[in-house]
Structures are given as structure tokens and as C-alpha cells.
Structure 1
């Protein structure tokens, strides 16, 4: 695939996605390829950081172990707005497993993704450690590769990450939802995500700082179409996991929250939506005044875009929730990772406050999980 940047082109969301699409369902690598990587990550720790600073994600709280697989989609009917060629999307599918015995835990990032992220991290989020300081590839998820699924029908939740972030930064919340009986599909949006490993190789972000309005619109247009593509193929890649047509919800962080709500606005298959601090003022994507499905609007008290956010949410019939002592990225895995980096002396207190706030990370992680889990439990059977 071409890796050159191009000028973003505006596109208008369509009501349906043509079916000329290629789908590849794979495990995270293959079991044979992953076992050495997972074993190495488990024993290596965070080799580049001071002793005792290995980064860990909070464990899920539900009764079920979590299974994991990855899926690659190619939409032959749509041109990638960033680099040209057919549009490609990568997914991580997390689901409640019958057992995790004999199934290795997956690393949060593949080795190539971790190397790329180590270089990009301080550019995407000012104040994160420089390359060579933290071994991001040593962070393990609680997802067990190709674990046998727990039998029974399950609601499905789609997740769209924040602009500039990859799908992997939504891992802890997704794993918790899966451990409580949901199927969660983490969606990467190549081009604006920091890095995405496709079968053809790594794709890097085209973003350089905050996107201008035209670029932001292209991001959201593209994400809405990506999410529609995923909706079209849920029956295909959930074969063997979900036995029947599931109830579907959607949630997202920041630009992902924006995309999630507009995707729900345009697609009746989505029965409930949660916006984790994403603006909803893109009127050319459709007025949300008559949005008629359950909607969770969750924000932090430390977000510097709070005034615009509140204006864009005004009048919407959503359930409101506030995370206190928190920053914008408290709604991602940074909530758990950044305080550990501060304890190790690898980020300053000012960086921690700017990213995730000052509250006890364990408290905010649990509040976020409780709010999102409870919302979908009420509205998706």
C-alpha cells in the first residue's frame, strides 16, 4: 500500500455500504507465531524502563475470561481518503470465553506497532517518554488468543478510538465489558490512528497536531463509513462466536465518540450509543435534535474543550455522567498507564494532570467501567 500523505477529501456519509468487500478473519498472528511473542513479553517486563516499572492494564472484573481475535476488512467500493487505494480497516474482537486454558495472553501492541508507538507517543501526546525509555511491547492484555467462546447470544458493542489514537488504547474498558458477557469490536481507522499494522505493513498517522475543520470532517466521514462497513460484516466475522443476529450498541472516545453517535444517527441497526467526550456539532452530518435512541454523554471535569462540548450536547436527550479529578485521556488506557509512568519518574506531575487528571486511577477506571457497563446493560438485552 502507498504510504504517502495526500490532501484529505470531503465525503458525505451514505445510507448503505456496497457489499464489494473482502474480509479476512485471523487470530492475532497465528497461535504458533504469537506464543513466543507473548511469552517474551511476559518475561521481559519493561526492559527500557527502571526496574519495577513494568506497565500493566487493570484486570477485567467480570466472571468470564476474555477471548481475542483480529479481523482485517478491505472495502473495494471505497477509496481511502488519506493514501488512495481500497479502504482497509483492522479490528480486535473481544468476547467472553468458556475457558482460557492453553490460550496465551496477547500483547497490547505487536512488536512493530510498539516500536512505532515509542517514537510517536511524545509527538501525539506531549510529555510522554521519549523512544528507548519504555518498552511498550511488554504490556499484556487480558485477552486470550483464540480462546473457545462461551455459548449463547451476546450483545455486540463497537468502539471507535480518539483521533490520533489506535484501537488498542481502549483495551481495559473493552476487556471488562467482554468479561461481563458482551462482544466488543475495537475498530482502527488507518490514516488518523497513530499506527496500525495491516497485512501489507504499518500505516502511520497523517495528523500533525490538532486537525483543521476540513480534516476533522474527513476523519468523521471516514470513520462513520468504516463503522457501517463493520456493521455489514458482523455476521461474517462473528461466526463461531455469536450464534444469532445480535443487539448492537456503539461507543467511542473523543473523535470516536463523535463518529459513534453520527453512525447511530444514520444506521438503525445501532440500538444505543455512548459518547465519551466527543463533540456533536457537525450539522452537515445531520441534525441530532431528534436522536431517538438511548444515549450516554460522559465527560471529564478536566477537558479543555468543555465549553464547546457542552454547547454541542445542549438539548440532546442523553443520560449525563461526569468523571471528576480526570482528564480527557482518563477515558482510555492512559488512565492506568500514565500514573505508573509518573511513579517511575518518566512523566511529570504536570503531564499526568494534563492527560488523566489527579484522581486515584483505580477509582476513575472503575467509575468509567461502571457507567458504560451499566448503560449498555439497561439498553441492550
Structure 2
């Protein structure tokens, strides 16, 4: 999760960061929003949502034309453009739902909150979709925060000119699930990124027969929208990060430890769902038969950047996870002092007895730093770790930016330099199918029923 900005925020211990850093972070974001950068939901509605990109068909079968369309400039919606996501290629239509999960055994590590709250999205093969609306990639309120915060985390993204709330997924809200037990995949996004930036890959994997659960890590993710405001937080919670968490070893350790705990907690909640219970903290409706679709004997995890670090270590720590894909996440801690090497995570020190795929790019900004921990991982003799490389690509090519950045460049809202820095010069017609194929093929091969 490389960033080129200086790290501000206060020091973080293994149990959390200082209240002073959190207050500073919240005040900065609030100031940006109040200054008018975020706009309002009413203003977005007044501009109109315009074409959604869903069309009359979300056809299956891997049409090359669909992938090419995703690389073109988004359709105009008033003065703003709407970027499009590529359609999934698998044989199944997909449903989608969100769950609000509360871990009352943990306090939040980033802010003085009495519990740890996690928002997840489940994308799954649907039994029927007629009458169930297609879901947007992100909600209106999350989109308003996204357009202010994410250009700060990813310099070069436009600060205006995009109607982020208008981008549609290809999945149908709360559609009933197929009753066939499916492998379950957990997704952890990159540091500072929301789970919504992994929509395209999640839909692709679900269309090929997986139940994909994408996890937001509040306090870490740029923005997380909850069902409602509480007495101790606002409805939309913003990131506490300022710059690259790897520049501060204590913050980085807290971030990865928290992500691993979140992943394991979500897996616990899915077990409740599979047993016929409703894990949603407010008792919100769960799509029909979603619990029956979960085959928790076949669980995988994939993550980008910090998410890749977290799922790799979770694979090592939790035997319920049978395989994992690390999309360019380092497997070592940052050094405690200049000139020293950071400590390897246990997964890199000791290896694993289950499959792990390391997938990188030739445009990663610190290839030597990444190589140290990945080489250690690959050196273990049992041969469970594999590696793939994307050429002419950069770090965020594993996210929805792979198709968004070229559309923003074509619309004149992003320079070629900034697009290449974010995702590389590789065309989405090449990058999207390759990432999808590598990840899907890996899980299809390795997630056989165990025990």
C-alpha cells in the first residue's frame, strides 16, 4: 500500500493509536467536507445519475466487447461522468447484500469506541434476479466522502467531474441465493481503500460459483457507511491514516493485527449464518438461502496490499482458511530504525502447508522491499507458494481503478502520468481478464473439500 505523502498522525501502540491523532484526522476530514469539496446528496441528485452502465443485459460468457467498453470514457451525467465496471463473465447471475457485524469482545483500535464494528458485502450466485434492483457500487453518502478523501490518498484522481454514486454493479440487491453449497472467499482491500473498490473482481468470482465476502476495516478504510449514527460515531466513518502506514511500524502493526482479527471474526459470523442464525447486529434481512449457500469447508481469502499481508498471515494463523492470494502485499514489518530490516511475519518465516499465490506487478514502487519477504516465502521447501507477475502494470491494477483510471484519462480528468502511476499503462482489456483468470483459476484448483 505505498503512498508518497508524509505520515502525520500520532504514534500507535499494539492496542491502538492515540486519541490526539484520531481527533486530528477527524477534524481534517470534517474540514474538507464542510469546505464544500464533498458536496451533498441533494446536489448529486439534482445533477442526475445519468446512464448506469448496467444496460439491458449483464450477459455471461466473457464478451470481449464488454471488457473493451469498460476501458472507454464513462458516459456523461450532466456535468459529471459516470465510470463503468466490466460485466462478470461466469454463468451465474449474482446477488448482493450488506451485513453490519459487531464484535463486542474487542474495542476499536483506532478511536475510543466500545466495540469493533465491521461492514461486509456478500456477493453470491443468485437463484432469481427479477424484481431485485441492481446495486450501485457505492452508496450516495459513501460516494460523497470518497470523492473528497480518495484523491488525497491517491494523488492524481480528479477532485471533481465524476458522479461516483452513479456507477452501478451487476449484482441484484438481496436476491435469493442458490441453495448449492459454494466455496467462500473473504476479501480484504488495500490500506486506506474501501471494500467497494473490489467490486469487479468480487462479482467475477461470484459469477463463477463462489460466495465472496468483502470486508471494510473501519478507521483504516477511507470511508465506511454504517446503517445509522450512534452516540459514539457518525454514520460515515473516515480513515485515520495520513500517508503510508508502513512509515510508522506501530501503526502498521496495529493495522495488520486488526485486519486479521476482523477476518477471523467475519468467518465466525459466517458460521452463525450457515447454522441458520442472523449475524446482522440489527437483525437486518438476510437474502433467502444465503446461509445454505455457504460451504465453510472450502474457505479462501484474497487481499490487496495491506489486505494481501493480512490474508497471508491469516492463512498461517487460521486453519479454516484453505488457500489465499496476496495481491502485492509485503510480508514483513517496516524497520524499527533506519538501516535495519523489518521483521518477517510468521507466514514468511515459517511458510505454510496450504496454497498461497503471490501476485505482483513490474511497476511496484519498492520492488527490492517486496522481494525480500516474497523470496523468503518462496524459499520454503514444501512448494505451497506460487508467484505471478503482471507486466506494464502498477500497484492498484488489482482494484476497480484498473478500469476507472483509463476512463478518467479518456475523459480528460486524469493525466497519463497519474493513470500510469496508479495502474500502469496496461489496457483494461488485458489487465482485467488476467487478474480475474489468475485468481479464479487458483481458487478453483485449490479449494477442494478438506476433511
Describe how 1:139-218 pairs up with structure 2 within 5 A. Answer: 139-199=167-227, 200=229, 201-211=235-245, 212-218=248-254
Cα RMSD (Å) of the superposition? 1.9
Instruction: Tell me how far apart the structure 2 counterparts of residues 46 and 196 of structure 1 sit (CA, whole Å).
Output: 27
Q: Is the 8 A contact 2:187 2:301 kept in 1?
A: yes
Structure 1 SS opposite 2:322: strand
Is the 8 Å Cα contact of residues 71 and 237 (structure 1) preserved in structure 2?
no
In the superposition, the TM-score normalised over structure 1's length comes to 0.87
Q: How many positions carry a matched residue from both structures?
A: 348
Could you say which structure has the larger radius of gyration? 2
Q: Which runs of no fewer than 5 residues in structure 1 stay unpaired?
A: 13-36
Q: Determine the structure 1 residue equivalent to 2:363.
A: 302
Distance (Å, rounded) in 2 between the aligned partners of 1:262 and 1:335:
26
CA contact (8 A) 1:161 1:188 kept: yes
Cα separation, 2, equivalents of 1:43 and 1:357: 27
Cα drift, residue 143 of structure 1: 1.4
Which residue number corresponds to residue 80 of structure 1? 108
The alpha-carbon distance between structure 1 residues 321 and 49, as it changes in their structure 2 partners (threshold 3 A), is farther
User: How far did 1:109 drift?
Assistant: 1.1
Q: Which residue of 2 aligns with 1:105?
A: 134
Q: Is the 8 A contact 2:189 2:304 kept in 1?
A: yes
Correspondence for 1:352 among 406, 411, 419: 419
TM norm structure 2: 0.74
| SS in structure 2 of the partner of residue 256 of structure 1 | helix
Q: Is it true that 1:241 corresponds to 2:269 in the alignment?
A: no
1:327 and 1:54 map into 2 onto residues whose CA distance is 23
Matches within 5 A, 1:17-36: none
Query: What SS class does the counterpart of residue 315 from structure 1 fall into?
Result: helix
Aligned to 2:373: 312
Structure 2 residue runs of 5 or longer lacking an equivalent are: 1-8, 17-44, 53-74, 230-234, 277-288, 334-342, 378-382
Measure, in 2, the Cα distance between the counterparts of 1:237 and 1:336.
Answer: 34
Deviation at residue 363 of structure 1 after TM alignment: 0.8
Q: Aligned equivalents of 1:162 and 1:61: distance in 2?
A: 24
Match of 1:114 in 2: 143
* Secondary structure in 1 matching 2:354: coil
Cα displacement string for residues 7-40 of structure 1 (whole angstroms, at most 9, x for unaligned residues): 533049xxxxxxxxxxxxxxxxxxxxxxxx9xx7
Q: How big is the shift at 1:237? A: 3.5
- Cα distance in 2 for partners of 1:169, 1:287 equals 26
Shift of 1:242: 4.1
Q: CA separation of 1:291/1:347 partners in 2, compared to 1, >3 Å: closer, same or farther?
A: same
Q: Secondary structure at the match of 2:368?
A: helix
**Structure-2 separation of matches of 1:331 and 1:245:** 26
